[in-house]
Amino acid sequence: MRSVGIIGGGLAGVALAALLGGRGHAVTVYERDRAGGKLRREQVGAVTFDTGPSLFTFPEVWRAYVERVGEPDPLDLRPLPGGLGVHHTPFGPVPLPVPPDHPLHPHWRSYVRTAAPLRPHLTTLLTTPPRVTDPAFLRAARALFGVTGRHPTAHAWLRAQRLPPALEHALATHALNAGVTPWDAPALYALIPALLDGQVYRPAAGMGALLDTLLALAGRRGVVIRTGCAVTGLRATTLELDGGETVRHDVLVSAIDPTRLAALRRHSTRSPVGRRTVSGFVLYGVLDRPLPLPYTSIVPPDDFRALRRALRAGALPDSTLTMVHHDPPRVTVLISMPATGAAPSPDHPWVQAELRRVARRLDVPDLLPALRDARTLTPAHYVLGGHPGGAIYGAAAPAWRAGPLHPQPYHVAPGLWQVGTGVHPGGGIPAILGGALIVNTLMAERDR
């Protein structure tokens, strides 16, 4: 048994803590705020909201995780009606998946068939250390290259498919799952809607149930979680905590952004605005009446190229990606914006202009009048404990490095590992859980 200290009590840190505790290690998690990271519960009046990830996709990664932990699946995952939602493109609305009675359905089925050879290998790509000595990973990598061919980015791959403009625009939206535009995201992100094919879920008790489950799994394995305990520095495997306390472990794992880790190690770091992933302005509102909306509505930017220029300049774009989740009496509006650390108010002219654009595109003029109470989170919120500027997925890597094929620096230095979406490519729950599984595998190999 070894003593393991984990810096950061977000989903990645807690998920890895449960795995390490299950292997007999004495694990302590140090969290500067409260457990959960971006996934937490917030009150707006008398109504509770789960912040952070809003969709549960690729549940086979979760099942691989609970199988590794050695417990039955405790989450009651329910399919979300409407799958990925209606994408209100400049060329017209496109529901994903495209239903059989829609004019775009034949093109959708062709797109799904193109991506189909990759589907059996996706869990391997998300949960297996990326190395050429692993036959399973090699098979998965060949399947990925077989589908993406000579088109490394989402934009290049979609253009090669010669899809109708409305469908191409809707699919291009999912490059933002990597926090960047289609010109900068790996081709894999253009395949996500096909690989899901409508299989989108949410726990019956809300997304916060995932955090509750991970905390319970960790607790049953003896993991100690110290909340409100900020790490102020580290030397070798010794942590310096606020208040002057020092704690030595046999091994450390960073579950915080790599830029933050570098600062704790007294290493100089740079994070130019143009090389960051997106941040967000999020409005959590309580409705006084239901709106004529499905659970998920997505309003893409009118021009992805213009959005790319704005993000690189750290400027507010004329239009951006906005997601609306409608679950009366709750409505959540997530607006993508540059990671500059800004803290715009709901009355900011740019926020108001984007909300008006969304209301027009969704044909719900009473979107804002229907709110009786609201709370917002801004890039300034995501800066706290995260990447500079509030970049939700950390630094933006080149497309050839951002996919699952490039070996990530999971083992940073002797006795120091790192995990989380800033390390494992992409964002969302599959990347978080997959990264925890990968690091657990690599650490177990070192333990032998």
CA atoms within 13 A on the CB side of 21: 23
pLDDT at 385: 83
- 319, 322, 280: which is closest to 302 by C-alpha? 319
Burial class for 59, CB neighbours closer than 10 Å (0-12, 13-18, 19+): middle
**Is the distance from CB of 205 to CB of 216 less than 8 angstroms?**
no
What does the mean pLDDT of the chain come to? 94
pLDDT one-digit tens code per residue, 79-126: 998 999 999 999 999 999 999 999 999 999 999 999 999 999 999 999
Query: Prior bond to 117 cis, omega within 30?
Result: no
Query: Rounded to whole angstroms, how far apart are CA atoms 408 and 395?
Result: 13
- Residues 59 and 351: their CA atoms lie apart, in Å, by 34
Give the per-residue SS3 of 367-402: CCCCEEEEEEECHHHHHCCCCHHHCCCCECCCHHHH
Q: Determine the average pLDDT of the residues in 197-203.
A: 91
The number of beta carbons lying within 10 Å of the beta carbon of residue 132 is: 10
- Once rounded to an integer, what is the mean pLDDT over residues 427-444? 92
* DSSP string for 246-272: EEE-SEEEE-S-HHHHHHHTT------
CA–CA dist 28, 82 (Å, integer): 41
Q: What is the pLDDT of residues 338-361, one digit of tens each?
A: 999 999 999 999 999 999 999 999
Q: Cα–Cα distance between 171 and 155 in angstroms, integer?
A: 10
Give the distance from CA 15 to its chain's centroid. Answer: 15
| Sheet with 238-241, side-by-side order of all strands | 231-235, 238-241, 246-248
In this predicted structure, which of 4-13, 223-232, 364-373 has the lowest mean pLDDT?
364-373
Angle at 97 between CA 157 and CA 58, to 5 degrees: 80
Alpha-carbon 233 to chain mean position = 27
Residue 405 has pLDDT above 70, yes or no: no
| Confidence bin at 397 (pLDDT 50/70/90) | confident
Residues 303-337: pLDDT tens digits? 999 999 999 999 999 999 999 999 999 999 999 99
Residues 268, 120: Cα–Cα separation, whole Å: 42
Would you say residue 425 has pLDDT above 60? no
- Look up residue 160 and give its two tokens: 């090669």
Question: Which of the pair, 399 or 133, is modelled with greater confidence?
Answer: 133
Residue 25 near residue 2 (C-beta atoms within 8 A): yes
Interval 147-199: pLDDT, tens = 999 999 999 999 999 999 999 999 999 999 889 999 999 999 999 999 998 89
Give the neighbor-by-neighbor strand order of the sheet with 26-31: 224-227, 26-31, 3-7, 251-254, 416-418, 411-413
Which phi and psi (to 5°) does residue 311 adopt?
-60, -40
CA distance 422 to 8: 13
Q: Which residue matches tokens 């977000």? A: 10
- Per the CB < 8 A criterion, the answer to whether 123 and 58 are in contact is yes
pLDDT at 259: 92
Q: Which pLDDT belongs to residue 408? A: 64
Burial 341-366 (b: 16+ CB within 10 A, else e): bbebebeeebbeebbebbbebbebee
Two structure tokens written together for 379: 């890039």
Amino acid code (one letter) for 145: F
CA distances from 27 to 13, 111, 225 (A): 11, 45, 9
How far is residue 26's CA from residue 306's CA, in Å, rounded to a whole number? 50
Q: Is 314 helix (H, G, I), strand (E, B) or coil?
A: coil
Are the C-beta atoms of residues 348 and 320 closer than 8 Å to each other?
A: no
Contact (Cβ atoms closer than 8 angstroms) between residue 252 and residue 5: yes
Which residue's entry shows tokens 């070192």?
Answer: 446
Residue 407, both tokens: 């070996």
Query: What is the model's pLDDT at position 142?
Result: 94
Q: What is the Cβ-side half-sphere exposure of residue 178, based on CA atoms within 13 angstroms?
A: 30
Confidence at residue 1, expressed as pLDDT on a 0 to 100 scale: 81
What pLDDT score was predicted for residue 43? 94
Cβ atoms of 432 and 11 within 8 Å: the answer is yes
Instruction: Name the pTM for this structure.
Output: 0.96
